[in-house]
Every structure is written in C-alpha cells, then in structure tokens.
Chains A and B, each alone.
Chain A
C-alpha cells in the first residue's frame, strides 16, 4: 500500500459545483496533514492545513479522520481559477526535530465555464 493515496481523477466540473477529494495514508504515526495546490507547470504551494477538528478557509474545507487514516478536501462554488492539481501531504517525524513530507500523486481538477 502506498504511503499516501489520492483519488486519481481527473475531475471535470462546471463552475459553481461542489467537488470533494479524498486521500488515505498508511502510516498511523503520521503527525501533520496538508493540502497543496499545483498549477500547470508551476511549483506546489500550500493550500491549507488539515486538523481533526476540521479547517475551513472560505470555499475550502479540509477534514481529517485519524481513526480511518483519511483526509478530505471540499471545494464549494468552484471557480475557473480552482483548476489545478491538488496534492495530499502527510508528515512524520524522521528524527529529532526533523520531519519528512510524503506527497500523494495529486488529483487534477478542471473547472469548466
């Protein structure tokens, strides 16, 4: 089983739609969780952190279920500018104060007019 697995996509949705991405991780010792966004031919950028209590930032909501080792990202009222690849990221301690980030393969979202 891969360390981080995501919906393979691609997702094609109309503007205004609600879309949800799922991610599972295999290491129960994982400590922190994030969603990154990567635009075409660009570098990844942090979108938001994911907490057990949930995290909402405008149209974006991230959820973590530690028992199921599952992370989700919900995008409401999709905009054309939301078109990108969304990367699920999991961290674990790699010794001392160092952490290792493991990236999922990403889910491609295309929002259509």
Chain B
C-alpha cells in the first residue's frame, strides 16, 4: 500500500490566479498520476508524472495549463494556471506501486474558482 498526503485539501481562488497542489508519497514510486473529478463526472486522467522526464499529458490537457513537477520519487506538484470557474473540481494525486489496476489516491484537493 501507499500513504499519500495531498495539500491543500481545499481552496477558493479568484479567476485568473494559479494554484499549486502538492503530493507526497510515503515510498518511492516510478509514476505518479494526476486526476480530475468534476461534479457528477468520472475521474479523468490529466497526466502521468515520471521522475526525471517531462510529464505525459492526456488528450485535452496541456502543460501550459497544468504544469507538473516531479523532482524526486516521492513528490510531485500540479499547478492549475490562469484559473476559470470551469476549473472548479477535485484534483487527485495517485500512485500504483503494486501493479496495474490498484491505485492509491490522496484525499484530493477541492478547488473552487470564483
């Protein structure tokens, strides 16, 4: 298993600002995943963060909007840039240390953009 600490747990932000979400894992993992869960919607993968290389973004998500850092094997950040109300969502960090299918999630960061 893995224990993931994510912060902030929630924030209310003004349109046009940026917010950086931090994710700390209690063990070293190769890949970390960032998901978004909008109200009433399924979890959608934003990007996969690999240590030592550029993050891999899914269709519909770009680095300029969601820059990601992965400075070491236990930590990652996701920035939501130039926010608009449409970015209001829960952002979740996850890892899958034990193989395919079993992901462990942080508690999520609930973002509200006014």
Contact = CB atoms under 8 A, between A and B. Distances in A.
Interface of A: 4, 31-34, 42-46, 49, 87, 89, 91, 98-101, 103-106
A106 B42 CA distance: 7
B60 interface: no
A43 B103 CA distance: 11
Chain A interface SS verdict (over half): strand
Given A105-B40, A106-B42, A91 B106 contact: no
B43 A32 contact: no
Closest 3 CB pairs of A and B: A43-B105, A103-B43, A99-B100
Given A43-B108, A99-B100, 13 more contacts: A4-B42, A31-B100, A34-B101, A43-B107, A44-B92, A45-B105, A46-B102, A46-B103, A89-B101, A98-B31, A99-B101, A100-B45, A103-B42
A40 B44 CA distance: 18
B4 to A, nearest CB: 8
A42 B6 CA distance: 12
Interface in B19-62: 31, 40-45, 48
Interface string B81-93: 0000000000010
Given A31-B100, A42-B107, A87 B42 contact: yes
29 contacts: A32-B100, A32-B101, A34-B101, A42-B107, A43-B108, A44-B43, A44-B92, A44-B103, A44-B105, A45-B105, A46-B101, A46-B102, A49-B101, A87-B42, A87-B43, A89-B101, A91-B100, A91-B101, A99-B100, A100-B45, A101-B45, A101-B101, A101-B103, A103-B42, A103-B43, A104-B42, A105-B40, A105-B42, A106-B42
